[in-house]
Amino acid sequence: MTEQQTIDIARLPVMGEAAQQSYPTATLYVVATPIGNVTDITLRALHLLALADVVACEDTRKTGALLQRFGLSKQTIAAHMHNEREVADKIVERLRGGQRVALVSDAGTPAVSDPGARIVDAVREAGLNVVPLPGPSAAITALSASGLVNDRFHFVGFLPAKTKQREAALSALVRETSTLVLYEAPHRIVECVEGLLAVFEPTRQVVFARELSKLFEEVHRCPLSEALGWVKADQHRERGEFVVLVEGAVLATD
């Protein structure tokens, strides 16, 4: 066994590199933030957040608390699904005034099953600069640990909440050969699995990526036929956040 090493992050020479990069003014920065473990934030995200004139975010309290954990105190403005259009105009104004505006969501990558796309669209329409800062995304994190060997995936995101619409949405995907990537709200995981069982063959592999990067993280893979049993085996599984992956269809060739 090799000797274990520890890292003193503050002393790493690479820390300075994020600061030396150029962060132009009059730019919207789309910044990914952690999906659970706060230390998954990137060095570049921290530098940019420290530099930003204002942070546009879904929930000012949540983002305020995140910033505080890194010793940052910033002006925040609410940018959620109910006010995206109006706030987009305000952001465009600020950018025209030469500000750096950071856009974050509550968790992960903004504009992916999260608000943000309308703001980015308005900023682009206005001919202004948009720079993405990559980082955590629940979908990509789940795929990376799934072992489902497929170079293609189909991002479905959230299924409709109502049973009929949910099954219709799934039926439309039954011949899709790419791995399907679903997001599911904590309280609907049983309905999600029931919907899958109603539509897909029970032999399809499914992967449940639950509470990624958090204390009770689980990544479980099984045939669909065993999925409901797994979800119901522990009452905690009906809470927590889930990404559900479904193996793509294997179509008969003749």
Out of 88, 92, 103, 108, point to the residue binding ligand SAM (CB under 6 A).
108
Asked if 243 is part of the footprint of ligand SAM (rule: CB under 6 A), the reply reads yes
Which token pair is 27?
Answer: 């730019």
Which residues sit opposite 207 in a β-bridge?
Answer: 221, 245
Asked if 58 is part of the footprint of ligand SAM (rule: CB under 6 A), the reply reads no
Classify residue 106 as exposed, middle or buried by CB count within 10 Å of its CB (0-12, 13-18, 19+).
middle
Asked if 84 is part of the footprint of ligand SAM (rule: CB under 6 A), the reply reads no
Asked if 114 is part of the footprint of ligand SAM (rule: CB under 6 A), the reply reads yes
Out of 31, 55, 87, 107, point to the residue binding ligand SAM (CB under 6 A).
107
Which token pair is 17?
Answer: 């590199």
**Rounded least distance, CB 165 to ligand SAM, Å:** 18
Asked if 206 is part of the footprint of ligand SAM (rule: CB under 6 A), the reply reads no
Asked if 250 is part of the footprint of ligand SAM (rule: CB under 6 A), the reply reads no
Distance CA(57)–CA(80), nearest Å, equals 7
Asked if 212 is part of the footprint of ligand SAM (rule: CB under 6 A), the reply reads yes
Choose the binding region for ligand SAM from 16-24, 79-87, 91-99, 237-245 (rule: CB under 6 A): 237-245
Which residue from 39, 30, 108 is spatially nearest to 70, judged by alpha carbons? 39
Which residue from 134, 116, 188, 194 is spatially nearest to 158, judged by alpha carbons? 188
